[in-house]
Amino acid sequence: MIITCISFQNVFGVCNTFCRELPIFLREHFNGMYRADAYFIAKTLAESPLYVFYPVLFISITYFLIGLDPTPHKFGMALVIMVLVSFITVSFGYLISCMTGETETALVLITPMIMPAMLFGGYFLTIDKGTYLDTYFSWCQYISWFYYSSEAMNINQWNDDKMRIKGGLNLTGKEFLAFSNFDPKDFDRDLWSLLFTFIGIRITAFFLFFCRTFRCT
């Protein structure tokens, strides 16, 4: 739920960024004031501190209210994961904004474009070996930031034999990870995958923005 809240909050927060400012940018760009890459980099860098502050504030409140592991290392790692998710979803919002060019269209496309990432993120649906989903849709989970961030957060929280899941499962932390098909060995892979997903989506967003500028020449 934390990952979902941050994802939708950020995507909806920036989906109209370039749609709203595109006419002003085009006028100033063609007047020779600045290049497309300078505008895009300056715009995204200027907004970056906000999208570090918001997830840090959000996690700092919810993490301890929920009762997750309060040790400094695990709390700090949870912050790192959520900041990466924040950057990915902001980049995804930029991508939609640059792709559509119209706020109304961007708002319509957000949910259907995010839902596949949510569906194959491992929470709503588990892809078991040898099934129909494994045969045709197993690749979908590897392009979903929900998959990598959910696995990383669960490993960060439960990779400890001393922790026990309360309730009907009655499992230790590591038994719960095995039950949920999360492998602690994949933790570093998940972090790197989140980082490269952020870079890939941000570069794609810039490419679409540049193409939109080029078409207007």
**Amino acid residing at 83:** V
pLDDT the model gives residue 196: 95
Position 80 pLDDT exceeds 60:
yes
Work out the average pLDDT over 149-155.
Answer: 92
pLDDT the model gives residue 131: 59
> How far is Cα 212 from Cα 217, in angstroms, rounded to an integer?
9
Q: What is the mean pLDDT of the chain?
A: 83
Position 168 pLDDT exceeds 70:
no
pLDDT the model gives residue 135: 60
Position 199 pLDDT exceeds 90:
yes
Other CB atoms within a 10 A radius of the CB of residue 87 amount to 24
What are the boundaries of each domain within the chain? 2-215
Work out the percent of the chain whose per-residue pLDDT is above 70: 88
pLDDT the model gives residue 84: 95
Position 56 pLDDT exceeds 90:
yes
88-105, pLDDT tens digit by residue? 999 998 888 888 877 788
> How far is Cα 99 from Cα 205, in angstroms, rounded to an integer?
8
DSSP string, 51-72: HHHHHHHHHHHHHHHHT----H
Provide the CA 212 distance to its chain's centre, in angstroms: 24
SS3 164: strand
C-alpha gyration radius of the chain: 19
> How far is Cα 117 from Cα 22, in angstroms, rounded to an integer?
28
Among candidate residues 144, 152, 140, the one with its CA nearest the CA of residue 177: 152
pLDDT the model gives residue 110: 85
Among candidate residues 75, 96, 102, the one with its CA nearest the CA of residue 7: 96
pLDDT category of residue 43 using cuts at 50, 70 and 90: confident
> How far is Cα 194 from Cα 192, in angstroms, rounded to an integer?
5
Position 208 pLDDT exceeds 90:
no
pLDDT the model gives residue 130: 52
Identify which of 30-34, 35-39, 83-87, 144-148 has the greatest average pLDDT.
Answer: 83-87
pLDDT the model gives residue 169: 67
120-147, pLDDT tens digit by residue? 777 766 666 555 566 666 777 788 899 8
- Spatial neighbors of 212 by CB under 8 A, at least 6 apart, are 22, 98, 101
